Amino acid sequence: MNRLVSQWKDSGLSQAKYAAQHSLTLVKFRYWIKKLKEPTGVEPGFVQLSGFSPQNISLRYPNGVELLLLTQTSVNVLNDLIHYQVRCSQ
């Protein structure tokens, strides 16, 4: 499939036309295009902010609970705290 995706990029054809020519469903072909997309090296979900030095990180849940965390709090802990609320509300 990697070969087909590479050939499609060079073909100039639309995804739909290329998929049809190779007896693939468009949905399946788009799945493989996305799956084989080169990683950008940037993890989604968090954006690095610069230019200021906050004292704390504030995390406020929809139920009004607010957590004040040190700026040194790891991204993994922040991620867990954010997703904890999502898991609890389901």
**Counting runs of H as helices and runs of E as strands, what totals does the chain give?**
4, 2
Q: Is the pLDDT of residue 65 over 60?
A: yes
DSSP state of 43: -
Write out the residue range of the structural domain in which residue 84 sits.
56-89
State mean pLDDT over 57-74. Answer: 84
Structure-model confidence comparison of residues 87 and 58, the more confident one: 58
Neighbours of 22 (CB within 10 A): 11
Residue 1 binned pLDDT confidence (cut-offs 50, 70, 90): confident
How many domains, in total, are found in the chain? Answer: 2
Q: Is residue 41 one of the residues assigned to a domain?
A: no
48 in any annotated domain: no
Looking at residue 77, its pLDDT comes to 87
Band (pLDDT 50/70/90 cuts) for residue 11 is: very high
> 24 pLDDT exceeds 60?
yes
Instruction: Say if pTM beats, i.e. exceeds, 0.85.
Output: no
Cα 21 from Cα 13, distance rounded (Å): 10
The separation between CA 47 and the C-alpha centre of its own chain, rounded to angstroms, equals 12
Percent of the chain with pLDDT over 70: 74
